[in-house]
Amino acid sequence: MRWRVQQRLPALSSDAFTRFGLESDNPAVLEAIRHYFDVYLPQVVQRQLLSNEAPDWCDERAASRLPVVLHQHGINLRHLGRVFNLLSETKSVSPDQDEVRYSSLRSFLLREMT
């Protein structure tokens, strides 16, 4: 929602998918959900986890801050599976990336998910 406000997009009813919501809110809510998963989440993964400015995720102390970093950018930890999948997809596209970095991130995400 914070991102929507920053982009000057209309606010959405939190009741959109409950019996209290308005059916007219559904298309906007569905678009917001699609945007979160298809655009925003991949951007956060790329910028915060994989960019050259990202912490060294091989360092256990840095890795322990991963949930905090994701929360700061509005990523719900219930979506760590999607983050994990995005790392796998990115790796297949960019095979020249450091394998140790990816392995460390994947291992930490798997530990967090369990």
pLDDT band at 41 (very low <50, low <70, confident <90, very high): very high
Sign of the CA dihedral running 61, 109, 112, 108: negative
pLDDT band at 99 (very low <50, low <70, confident <90, very high): confident
Domain locations in the chain? 2-113
| pTM assigned to the model | 0.73
- Report pLDDT digits (tens) over 56-68: 888 888 888 999 9
